[in-house]
Amino acid sequence: AQRVTQPEKLLSVFKGAPVELKCNYSYSGSPELFWYVQYSRQRLQLLLRHISRESIKGFTADLNKGETSFHLKKPFAQEEDSAMYYCALSINTGTASKLTFGTGTRLQVTL
Amino acid sequence: NAGVMQNPRHLVRRRGQEARLRCSPMKGHSHVYWYRQLPEEGLKFMVYLQKENIIDESGMPKERFSAEFPKEGPSILRIQQVVRGDSAAYFCASSPSTLEQYFGPGTRLTVT
């Protein structure tokens, strides 16, 4: 069965410091991986997906199939990055595309 | 486009009552997904529906839970005879296809 692990419940960094939010997955097939973000009092929204290989709000994530990881990185944290971040794995069966989420990591950026 | 709408945002029910959660997908989206988030856990898939059809209900508890997405109107997640363990945040997502999902703000169900 597929599984997504985010080992850190809380990550606290200073403004301007680098950020790495860890995500590991287990899935026997070819995964599609996503990072979702939830800012305070807002709905869950897609931050980025691995197949698009783009940088959103300065964040990047590279899929490492050898290590089964999809860590989210940003070189310089900003206060507005403080939020809950969820890594998710999509399994597309052709008829459905359900997401399996990790438990989330709260990123706290302090001055 | 107003985005995915869910109502109510907060719902309090006593044990044994019924809970009805509504989800209006984004305009043009015919795919609806329901997820449940228990305290301190990630979102867990419950059910995937298209108009008038349940496509995948592998994450739904076998008893008391049901979902529908009629031809007209919102998708409904129905929980009969609620118990304390049903207290959670329930999220709906919609999609125009089997790709990217757009989430609603969630309904927080509290069972007293």
Q: Best mutation site among B9, B23, B34, B43 for testing chain A: the one with the most A CBs within 10 Å?
A: B43
Query: H or E element: which one contains B75?
Result: strand B75-79
Asked whether the beta carbons of B93 and B37 are under 8 A apart, the reply is no
In which band, very low, low, confident or very high, does the pLDDT at B97 lie, cut at 50, 70 and 90?
confident
Q: Are B75 and B32 in contact (CB under 8 A)?
A: yes
Rounded average pLDDT over B53-64 = 93
Query: Is the pLDDT reported for residue A53 higher than 80?
Result: no
Question: pLDDT at residue B13 above 90?
Answer: yes
Residue B74 forms contact with A (CB below 8 Å): no
Q: What is the mean pLDDT of chain A?
A: 91
Across residues B67-94, what is the average pLDDT? 96
Beta strands in A1-111 (DSSP E): 3-5, 10-14, 19-21, 24-26, 32-38, 45-49, 60-61, 72-74, 83-92, 97-101, 105-110
Specify the pLDDT at position A97. 75
* Residue keyed to tokens 């305009």: B27
> What is the pLDDT, as a whole number, of residue A96?
63
- Chain A residue with the nearest C-alpha to that of B41: A103
Out of B91, B95, B98, the one facing A44 most closely (by C-beta) is B91
User: Phi/psi at A81 (nearest 5 deg)?
Assistant: -80, -10
